[in-house]
Structure 1
Amino acid sequence: MPSPTRPDAVVTIAADPWCPHNCTAGSPDEGYAVDIAREAFALSGIKVQYVNMSWARALQQTESGHIDAVVGAFVSDAPNFVFPDQASGYSRTALFTNPESDWQWEGIESLQDQTLMVINGYSYSPEIDAYVDRHKDDPARVLVLSGTSPLNRAIELLEQGRSDVFPEDQAVMNWTIRNSDHSIVPRQAAMIYESPFYIAFSPAKSDSPKLSKLLSQGIIKLRESGKFEQILAPYGLSQP
């Protein structure tokens, strides 16, 4: 742009840290999805401001138009948001337990005698999301975590035996364990869902469709030039 609606040519995107997809704002490595957004928008002369807050707050702030977009969204996270044609990355959701657990995933019914731990506002899979919605008011069935660092808290609760099962992106869990001092390595019990994720734009802002289109155009150019792969490489990842 710039345009009368966005004279400063800055797009603000938000999320809680979900590294390596999106990490801590202002750190040397802010996550490949943030790096891709910066490079893609730069092709249109637009800068990206990335900020951290809880995921639930990021969704609320974006829905109301106080923030331009969230990074790391499934369509099921925010179905009324404006989604680009091009995904920013790919997520594989697994179920994790205490390493001493021998619990096995045999479909949603196998959670009946387990405490499932989830992060407020997150979407995991259609089946898990529906289960959480049914039992969110029963803390013996579903324990909901909030805040800007809920993953570390989730690992602590698994270690303490205060929760049984936790769904999380496989790459995010692996990254967190490699880069933290947790005394346990959660056991991966099952892989349950795979999905692309996106930078999703505010339904309250009139220029969201244009920003979405510019982002998609930029991502296509990054893929064609090989820059997309170059951005992924330092994070130990490649395009799916």
Structure 2
Amino acid sequence: MYGTIAALFSILILCSLMSFSAMAQSTLVVVSDQWMPYYGENGTRDEGYAVDVLRAIFEPKGWTVEYKELPWQRALDDMRNGHADITISKSKEETPDFIFSTQTLGKNAMCFYTNRPDWKFTGPDSLDTVKTGLVQGYGYRDWFLEKVRRKPHLFYSLHGNDAFPRLVSMLKEDRIQALPGNQAVVDYYIQTNQLLDQVFFAGCVDDPEQLYFAISPANPLRSKLLVTAIDKGLATMRVSGQLNYLLIKYNLKHWVPVKADSPSAPNHTQ
């Protein structure tokens, strides 16, 4: 009996190793809308922090990393039907059916920006005095989505791969007066497009979420192997300093130092 159990266990281990070996020449499909500094323009030097991390982890193992820019809702659909492997989770609540890495990629602080220097976000009620833009399909906080549902006349939504830049243009034209977004993403866009004198920081929600790599649930065995590779790869990159280099490249901050003998300690960027 013991010999049979041991043999079955050995077979399972061998199958897992064979599966990972067979995947070693596979293509990893990464999808997202443009969300710099995490996801940028495909094929450029600045494809984004998340894409650079995945290339650093998987390409030395023989994988081909294929990054596709898609509207966010289309990206989620492709993840669910198995046409894509990985994206960044902008909210775990948005995609509870996905499989997540255990290592974080940063904080998803929901902050508000405005074209009116005197307007500040002080809570949900402060949105009653402005018209607010949003991207269809994004995982906003429940209270925010409830407010959109109850007072739709105060909100303007767009969809598509260029929804966020279009909303910023509407903000500049005063067609909307407030726009929520990830602080690192909006700050990067404002600085890159020299909008510091036109788009102003107005405050953040007090409960920032963590960002993770989200893996397609369509193939559980493949996804489990991907999670293992990502978590080990991130731990190695942290200890080697490679991940810190990418943070500096994309102006992401702050990095909590990790001791060389503790590669599995959690990391936090914001």
- TM-score relative to the length of structure 2: 0.78
- Distance in 1 of aligned mates of 2:63 and 2:82: 18
Alignment map for 1:32-111 (pairs within 5 Å): 32-42=49-59, 44-98=61-115, 100-111=116-127
| Partner residue, 2:244 | 229
Q: Which has the larger radius of gyration?
A: 2
Distance 1:54 1:44, change over 3 A: same
* Residue 162 (structure 2) aligned to one of 140, 149, 158: 149
- Offset, 1:72: 4.8
Per-residue CA deviation, residues 165-224 of structure 1 (Å, 9 max, x unaligned), is 110122222221222266953111112242321220111123112211211111111111
Structural RMSD (CA): 2.2
d(CA) in 2 for partners of 1:158 and 1:64? 35
Say if 1:173 and 1:134 are closer, same or farther in 2 by CA, change over 3 A: closer
Deviations 1:63-82 (A, max 9, x none): 11111122353212311100
- Give CA-to-partner distance per residue, 1:110-140, whole Å, 9 cap, x none: 223432211111123x3xx333245348541
CA distance in 1, matches of 2:60, 2:235: 11
Name the one with the larger helix percent: 2
Task: Quote how far apart the aligned CAs of 1:23 are.
Answer: 0.8
One of 235, 240, 247 as aligned partner of 1:220: 235
8 Å contact 1:120–1:145 — kept in the other structure? Answer: yes
> Which letter does structure 1 place at the counterpart of 2:163?
P
Which consecutive aligned stretches of 4+ in structure 1 deviate over 6 angstroms post-superposition? none
Q: Residue 226 of structure 2: SS of its match in structure 1?
A: helix
Q: Secondary structure at the match of 1:94?
A: strand
Amino acid at match of 2:143: A
CA distance in 1, matches of 2:155, 2:227: 35
Cα distance in 2, alignment partners of residues 136 and 144 from structure 1: 12
Letter aligned with residue 237 of structure 1: L
Q: Secondary structure at the match of 2:164?
A: helix
- State the AA in 1 paired with 2:54: A
Indicate the residue corresponding to 2:190 in structure 1: 177
Change (3 A) 1:69 1:175: same
Which has the bigger relative contact order, CA under 8 A and spacing at least 6?
1
Aligned amino acid, residue 109 of structure 1:
D
Q: For the residues of structure 2 that align with 1:136 and 1:221, how far apart are their CA atoms? A: 44
Alignment of 1:18 onto 2:27: no
Question: Retained in 2: the 8 A contact 1:90–1:195?
Answer: yes
Q: Is the 8 A contact 2:121 2:204 kept in 1?
A: no
SS in 1 for 2:29: strand
Counterpart of 1:202, as a letter, is S
Q: Which runs of 5+ in 1 are unaligned?
A: none
Query: Residue in 1 aligned with 2:138?
Result: 122
Identity level (%): 28
TM-score by length of 1: 0.87
Q: Tell me what 2:218 maps to.
A: 204
How far apart are the structure 2 equivalents of 1:62 and 1:197?
17
Mark the runs of 5 or more structure 2 residues left unpaired by the alignment. 1-19, 256-268
What is the DSSP-based 3-state SS (H/G/I as helix, E as strand, rest coil) of the residue aligned with 2:102? Answer: coil
Q: How many residues align?
A: 234
